[in-house]
């Protein structure tokens, strides 16, 4: 049987624009993109994608898959099924599991679990602590990066003291990624004592501090979930000065605000919190500073959210692309913008070779969408184990039809086809 497939009849989203083109793949790789490829190839399996638009498989650099320790909310199988359903072919999973991923033993265990159960490609972050500087440095080439919680969030990880911060910044390989949850812990606690949840100054203080560290030491820094105009201004200035800083924004900070929180209640509780309509507008106005969209997919069960001490976080893998495609229809983004922030830039920044573009030589991770379909997000149709979305009931335009992972059909018309274990560790070949 032929290993070559020819996708014909569709439109391909590239760096500069969208073109009617055929895509020829052989095994896991794209070998050609352009018109009339069929004529020269006789041993190809044709795949009719008439009416569909092909995006490079999405890369979500910030997800919480909850395994080990939180499998009642999500696990590597359900979380990566949610990824495929959302058009995401690669996820980078955060280390604030139970136990957290802070040493070789916990990394080996989590990698084993992911290798056995994941249906999309994955990488795992290491979690920094006050006393694992040497250990995580020695594991750097097996991980997607190092995550530092400068302010506390879910789980036990916290690096709010200067000695550990400077040591991680100095010793973790400079070409590798340090990703930070940037909220100033002292400020978070102070405002909590006043009954206020993490106002924007908490993030601005921490981003100022972290950019200074990165600039002084001369290392890379990735700032997670920016949610305020103040952070964007700081990052814009730092980039102009040549600081090696990148950032991500989440769909919930772009598509929800404090006004939605009134209705969502605890289901809208997240760190950093939802912001005012004005802050949300600023994020959209300064969109060019944002390197990538990452979901911060952080599932909790309905029971937990309805409990007396609801945890922070919300799922996002299945709704990111439909929301972005709706923003495209609304004229807020172009399709190349969407490919850039969901695939091309994440691949560049995190060094994911051969991913992030539909072009010869790249991996055949393809997300096929029907731009014209209008539908409603429905809690009942989700793959995430938590079974709810803050966007339940919202009408969106643009639907994910099929997803190919390294050349194999993995999600088709609402069904996950990929078998557990299909997903590969992005660091396994290093």
Span near Zn ion by CB under 5 A; candidates 202-210, 281-289, 295-303, 320-328: 295-303
Binding mask of the shown chain, residues 241 to 280, with x at each position contacting Zn ion by CB under 5 A: ----------------------------------------
Cα dist from 259 to 107, 256, 276, 309, whole Å: 40, 8, 7, 21
Closer by beta carbon to Zn ion, 250 or else 282:
250
d(CA 73, CA 64): 10
Residues in the chain: 430
In sequence order, the 6+-apart residues with CB closer than 8 A to the CB of 86 are 58, 317, 318, 319, 320, 321, 322, 400
How many CB atoms within 10 Å of residue 41?
A: 16
Least separation in angstroms between residue 73's CB and Zn ion is: 13
How many residues line the site for Zn ion (CB under 5 A)?
1
Least separation in angstroms between residue 94's CB and Zn ion is: 5
Q: Does 60 bind Zn ion (CB under 5 A)?
A: no
Looking only at the bridges linking them, the beta strands covering 44-48 and 18-20 are unpaired
Span near Zn ion by CB under 5 A; candidates 296-304, 317-325, 373-381, 386-394: 296-304
Number of H helices, E strands in the chain: 14, 19
Q: Does 74 bind Zn ion (CB under 5 A)?
A: no
Q: Does 231 bind Zn ion (CB under 5 A)?
A: no
d(CA 397, CA 373): 6
Span near Zn ion by CB under 5 A; candidates 166-174, 284-292, 293-301, 394-402: 293-301
Span near Zn ion by CB under 5 A; candidates 39-47, 69-77, 100-108, 294-302: 294-302
DSSP, residue by residue, 270-292: -SSPP--HHHHHHHHHTGGG--E
Closer by beta carbon to Zn ion, 296 or else 318:
296
Looking only at the bridges linking them, the beta strands covering 395-405 and 245-249 are unpaired
CB nearest Zn ion: which residue?
Answer: 296
Span near Zn ion by CB under 5 A; candidates 12-20, 140-148, 201-209, 289-297: 289-297
Cα dist from 206 to 213, 270, 274, 358, 416, whole Å: 11, 18, 18, 37, 40
Closer by beta carbon to Zn ion, 121 or else 296:
296
Q: Does 318 bind Zn ion (CB under 5 A)?
A: no
Closer by beta carbon to Zn ion, 261 or else 296:
296
Picking from 74, 122, 127, 121, the residue whose alpha carbon sits closest to that of residue 100 is 127
Q: Which of 296, 318, 357, 365 binds Zn ion (CB under 5 A)?
A: 296
Contact residues toward Zn ion (CB under 5 A) are 296
């Amino acid at each position: 049987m032929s290993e070559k497939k020819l996708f014909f009849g569709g439109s391909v989203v590239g760096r500069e624009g969208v073109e009617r083109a055929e895509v020829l793949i052989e095994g896991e790789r794209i070998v050609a993109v352009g018109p009339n490829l069929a004529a020269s190839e006789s041993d190809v399996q044709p795949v009719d994608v008439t009416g569909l638009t092909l995006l490079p498989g999405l890369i979500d650099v910030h997800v919480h898959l909850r395994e080990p320790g939180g499998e009642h909310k999500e696990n590597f199988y359900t979380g990566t099924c949610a990824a495929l359903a959302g058009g995401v072919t690669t996820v980078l999973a955060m280390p604030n599991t139970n136990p957290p991923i802070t040493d070789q033993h916990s990394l080996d265990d989590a990698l084993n679990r992911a290798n056995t159960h994941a249906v999309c490609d994955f990488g795992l972050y290491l979690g920094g602590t006050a006393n694992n500087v040497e250990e995580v440095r020695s594991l750097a080439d097996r991980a997607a990066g190092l995550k530092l919680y400068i302010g506390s969030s879910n789980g036990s990880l916290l690096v709010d003291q200067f000695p550990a911060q400077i040591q991680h910044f100095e010793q973790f390989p400079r070409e590798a990624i340090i990703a930070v949850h940037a909220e100033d812990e002292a400020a978070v606690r102070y405002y909590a004592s006043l009954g206020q949840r993490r106002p924007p100054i908490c993030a601005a203080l921490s981003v100022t501090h972290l950019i200074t560290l990165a600039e002084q030491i001369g290392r890379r820094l990735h700032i997670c979930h920016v949610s305020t105009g103040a952070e964007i201004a700081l990052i814009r200035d730092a980039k102009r000065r040549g600081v090696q800083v990148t950032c991500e924004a989440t769909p919930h900070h772009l598509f929800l605000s404090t006004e939605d929180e009134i209705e969502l209640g605890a289901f809208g509780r997240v760190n950093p919190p939802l912001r005012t309509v004005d802050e949300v507008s600023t994020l959209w106005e300064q969109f060019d500073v944002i390197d990538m969209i990452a979901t911060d997919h952080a599932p909790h069960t309905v029971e937990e959210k309805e409990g007396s001490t609801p945890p922070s976080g919300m799922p996002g893998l299945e709704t990111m692309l439909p929301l972005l495609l709706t923003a495209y229809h609304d004229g807020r983004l172009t399709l190349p913008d969407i490919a850039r922030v969901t695939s091309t830039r994440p691949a560049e920044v995190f060094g994911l070779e051969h991913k992030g573009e539909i072009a010869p030589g790249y991996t055949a991770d393809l997300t096929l969408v029907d731009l014209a379909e209008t539908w409603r997000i429905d809690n009942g149709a989700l793959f995430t184990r938590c079974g709810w979305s803050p966007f339940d009931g919202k009408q969106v335009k643009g639907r994910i039809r099929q997803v190919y992972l390294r050349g194999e059909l993995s999600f088709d018309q609402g069904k996950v086809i990929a078998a557990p274990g299909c997903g590969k560790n992005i660091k396994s070949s290093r």
